[in-house]
Amino acid sequence: MSKPTIRIHNVTTNEIVDREMTDAEYKVYQDRKAQYLIEQAEAEAKATAKAAAEGKLAALGLTTNDLRALGL
């Protein structure tokens, strides 16, 4: 499998160079991609938990505003 391509654009000369990532750049790319996927999964889990909590409150006839009014 080939590595992703990097595009370098020299705005002074308007020269564009496309090249394959070096091993170090590819490692950083993989690390950042893994971190992004972890953050996305955490955000999705948080949104799911919030929706579930709001659903439980709705089943009890309460809203998040009701809880705020009670100081919870």
Mean pLDDT within 44-61: 89
15: how many CB neighbours lie within 10 A of its CB? 9
At residue 1 the predicted structure's pLDDT band, cuts being 50, 70 and 90, is: low
pTM for the structure as a whole: 0.67
Position 50, amino acid: K
Residue 19 sits at φ, ψ, to 5 deg, of -145, 160
